[in-house]
Amino acid sequence: MGMTMTQKILAAHCGKDTLTAGDMIMANVDLVLGNDVTTPVAINEFNKSGCDCVFHKDKIAMVLDHFTPNKDIKSAEHSKQVREFAAEKEITNFFDVGEMGVEHALLPEKGLVVCGDLVIGADSHTCTYGALGAFSTGVGSTDMAAGMATGKVWLKVPSAIKFNLTGSLRKNVSGKDVILTIIGQIGVDGALYRSMEFTGDGVANLTIDDRLCICNMAIEAGAKNGIFPVDDVTLDYVKEHSTKTPVVYAADADAEYDQVIEIDLAKIEPVVAFPHLPENVKTFSEIGDIKIDQVVIGSCTNGRLSDFVAAAKIMEGKKIAKGIRVMIIPATQKIYMDCLKLGLIEQFIEAGCAVSTPTCGPCLGGHMGILAKGERCVATTNRNFVGRMGDPKSEVYLASPETAAACALTGKITSPDTI
Amino acid sequence: MSITGTVIKYQDNVDTDVIIPARYLNTADPKELAKHCMEDLDKDFVTKVKAGDIMVAGNNFGCGSSREHAPIAIKESGIACIIAKSFARIFYRNAINIGLPIIEVDTDIADGDEIEVDFAAGTIVNKTQNKSYEFKPFPPFLQNIISAGGLLNSLKEEGATNA
Ligand code: SF4
For B28, which of A40, A122, A383 is closest by C-beta distance? Answer: A40
Ligand 1, from A125, A136, A296, A302: best to mutate by most atoms within 8 Å of Cβ? A125
- Dump pLDDT digits (tens) for B15-55: 999 999 999 998 889 999 999 999 999 999 999 999 999 99
Q: How far is the CA of A358 from the centre of ligand 1 (A)?
A: 11
Q: What is the mean pLDDT of chain B?
A: 93
- Residue B148's pLDDT is what? 86
Q: How far is CA A370 from CA A39, A75, A96, A353, in A?
A: 24, 17, 23, 16
Contact between chains at A189 and B63 (C-beta distance less than 8 A): yes
- Dump pLDDT digits (tens) for A202-221: 999 999 999 999 999 999 99
Q: What average pLDDT does range A295-322 have in this prediction?
A: 98
**Are the C-beta atoms of A104 and A125 separated by less than 8 Å?**
yes
Least confidently predicted of A73-77, A167-171, B130-134, B156-160: B156-160
Q: What average pLDDT does range A399-418 have in this prediction?
A: 98
Contact between chains at A192 and B141 (C-beta distance less than 8 A): no
Ligand 1, from A217, A360, A384, A388: best to mutate by most atoms within 8 Å of Cβ? A360
Q: What average pLDDT does range A355-364 have in this prediction?
A: 98
First vs last Cα of chain B: how many Å apart?
A: 30
- Dump pLDDT digits (tens) for B55-87: 999 999 999 999 999 999 999 999 999 999 999
Phi, psi torsion values for A65, nearest 5 degrees: -125, -15
Residue B163 has pLDDT above 60, yes or no: no
Establish if B107 touches chain A: CB-CB under 8 angstroms: no
- Residue A404's pLDDT is what? 98
Concatenated DSSP letters of A95-162: E-TTT---HHHHHHHTT---TT-EEEESSGGGGGGGGGT-EEEE--HHHHHHHHHHSEEEEEPP-EEE
Concatenated DSSP letters of B11-58: -S--BHHHHS-GGGTT---HHHHHHTTTTTT-TTHHHH--TT-EEEE-
Residues with Cβ within 8 Å of A260's Cβ and at least 6 positions away in sequence, in order, are: A161, A162, A163, A164
Residue B162 has pLDDT above 60, yes or no: no
Instruction: For chain A, give the percent of residues with pLDDT over 70.
Output: 100
- Residue B85's pLDDT is what? 97
Q: How far is the CA of A363 from the centre of ligand 1 (A)?
A: 6
A-chain CB neighbours of B85 within 8 Å are none
- Residue B157's pLDDT is what? 82
For B17, which of A71, A222, A388 is closest by C-beta distance? Answer: A388
> How many CA atoms, within 13 angstroms, populate the side-chain half-sphere of residue A216?
29
- Residue B143's pLDDT is what? 85
Query: How does residue A127 score in pLDDT terms, banded at 50, 70 and 90?
Result: very high
- pTM, full prediction: 0.96
Query: How does residue B155 score in pLDDT terms, banded at 50, 70 and 90?
Result: confident
**B134 Cα to chain A: minimum distance (Å):** 21
- Dump pLDDT digits (tens) for A252-263: 999 999 999 999
B-chain CB neighbours of A218 within 8 Å are none
- Residue B161's pLDDT is what? 64
Q: Please name every residue paired with A163 in a beta bridge, in sequence order, or none if there are none.
A: A198, A261
Q: What is the mean pLDDT of chain A?
A: 97
- Dump pLDDT digits (tens) for A311-352: 999 999 999 999 999 999 999 999 999 999 999 999 999 999
ipTM above 0.90, yes or no: yes
Which residues have C-beta atoms less than 6 Å from ligand 1? A 66, 102-104, 123, 125, 299-300, 360, 363-364, 381-382
Q: What average pLDDT does range B142-152 have in this prediction?
A: 86
- Dump pLDDT digits (tens) for A54-103: 999 999 999 999 999 999 999 999 999 999 999 999 999 999 999 999 99
A-chain CB neighbours of B25 within 8 Å are 37, 66-67, 364
